[in-house]
Amino acid sequence: MKLVFANLFRVGALLLLLILLFRTEWLSFLLVPLTSNNAPVVYTQNSLPQLAASHLFLVAISIAGSAVLAILGGIFVTRKSGEDFLPLSRAIANAGQTFPPVAVLALAVPATGFGAGPTLIALFLYGLLPIFENTVSGLKQVSPSVLDAADGMGMNGTQRLFRVELPLALPLILEGLKVATVINIGTATIGSTVAAKGLGEVIIAGLISDNTAFILQGGLIVGLMAVLIYDALGLIEKAITQRIGLRPA
């Protein structure tokens, strides 16, 4: 029953997202009460599917960069040679989350100009912490007895890392990637303040024109994308962990 409900929710959420992207006019009767002075109900200044694609492209590129640095950093500080750098690395990763993205944009614009550049920098910094912390936690939770067994089998450090430690840490690392992705889907909306193409453009247009219908359209699309992508990443995580034997089929 639980699985049926989950599948119905996925189908419903996906259907609503597709309607919002491609046939928003079908929902006009719900959006009209949110406008005033005969303001437009549906955002038409730019293609919503194109804005959504640009939005997800920014998120994908930034998460890929965050993942590479955070996972490598997590591996480094859990090695004997790098454990002294854990406090510094953790402080840097935390700074990415605590420093407001709007401030990052303001500082990055003079160096990179308007557009996607400042937004990618802000999203890259924002995505570091969940992936880094989960990588460190995942690697540190590997049982010492398992590591001793790997050493007893004659594995060197590199073999032990890739054959034992990373596979066992994979569920937590994937969870960090899921969290970082969802955070960045929401945070990417601020990119429109510096002329980056994305769904924040719809929300900002609504704020400027006092058009709640626009704000709702942009917010719903971003929210539904975040929910569906988080769910999809969860299914991918389950499939991967089942394949490597960390979860029962």
- What's the rounded Cα separation, in Å, for the pair 5 and 198? 32
Name the token pair of 155.
């594995």
- What's the rounded Cα separation, in Å, for the pair 120 and 141? 32
What is 209-242 written as a DSSP string? HT-HHHHHHHHHHHHHHHHHHHHHHHHHHHHHHH
What's the first-to-final CA gap in the chain, in angstroms?
19
Q: What is the mean pLDDT of the chain?
A: 90
Q: What is the pLDDT of residues 204-232, one digit of tens each?
A: 999 998 999 999 999 999 999 999 999 99
Looking at residue 62, its pLDDT comes to 96
- Range in 3-17, 65-79, 100-114 with the lowest mean pLDDT: 100-114
Looking at residue 35, its pLDDT comes to 87
What fold does the segment set 48-244 form as a domain?
MetI-like fold (1.10.3720)
Kindly tell me the sign of the dihedral angle through the C-alpha atoms of 80, 85, 91, 93.
negative
Residue 104 exposed, middle or buried by CB count within 10 Å (0-12, 13-18, 19+): buried
Check pLDDT > 60 for residue 248: no
Q: What is the pLDDT of residues 33-88, one digit of tens each?
A: 888 888 899 999 999 999 999 999 999 999 999 999 999 999 999 998 888 999 99
Looking at residue 48, its pLDDT comes to 95
- What's the rounded Cα separation, in Å, for the pair 64 and 57? 11
